[in-house]
Amino acid sequence: MRGNDSLQTGPAVSWLVVRGALIAVVAAGAVALCPLIGWQVAAVVLAVVAAALPQTFAAWGSVGCLVIGMLISEPDLGRAMIAVLVVQLIHVLMSLSLVIPAGSRVVIAALRRSALRLLVVQAIAQPVTVAVMVVGGAAAQGSAQTVPWAAVAGAGAVVALAVTLVMRANRRAP
């Protein structure tokens, strides 16, 4: 290399910021969503393991702890909306932790697409959450037995996605 060769990037953050954010999001989600201290502690311990060793996928275990906390308590629209946000944030931060090597720096501009995808998914998921909670709550109050229409709609969406992915995978490249 020559003396005048240099590489300049935009503002960057340490890899520790992404992994620390993962722990912070799990801790905040555990406090907001889990009524039992044991499940809160388990979620945070799994987040710490995930931050230290991302290849263990332990952050998804912390999502399981949050889900158990949601199942233990009464249904609530606000908590459901927080859960949708927290679970996606955990997923995004864990996915980033898997591809950002320890000791590296991440240019903030490189995180822009992940942040944009997060916002787009939340713009779709939050109104759907409200609709499911409001309509599901009204249906539960109106009759003793309700049809789990959200489960049927979700299964239909999964089938449609699977068919689309299979069709795209079988498409031959020109």
Q: Encode 144-171: b = buried (16+ Cβ within 10 Å), e = exposed.
A: eeeeeebeeeeeeeeeeeeeeeeeeeee
Q: What is the pTM of this model?
A: 0.76
Q: What are 117's two structure tokens?
A: 């995808």
Q: What is the C-alpha to C-alpha distance for residues 132 and 4, in angstroms, rounded to an integer?
A: 60
Residue at 74: amino acid letter: E
Q: How many residues does the chain have?
A: 174
pLDDT in tens, the chain (174 residues): 566 777 788 899 999 999 999 999 999 999 999 999 999 999 999 999 999 999 998 999 999 999 998 888 888 889 999 999 999 999 999 999 999 999 999 999 999 999 999 999 999 999 888 888 887 765 555 554 445 666 667 777 878 888 888 888 777 655
Residues in a beta bridge with 13 = 106
By the 10 Å C-beta count (0-12 exposed, 13-18 middle, 19+ buried), 123 is classed as exposed
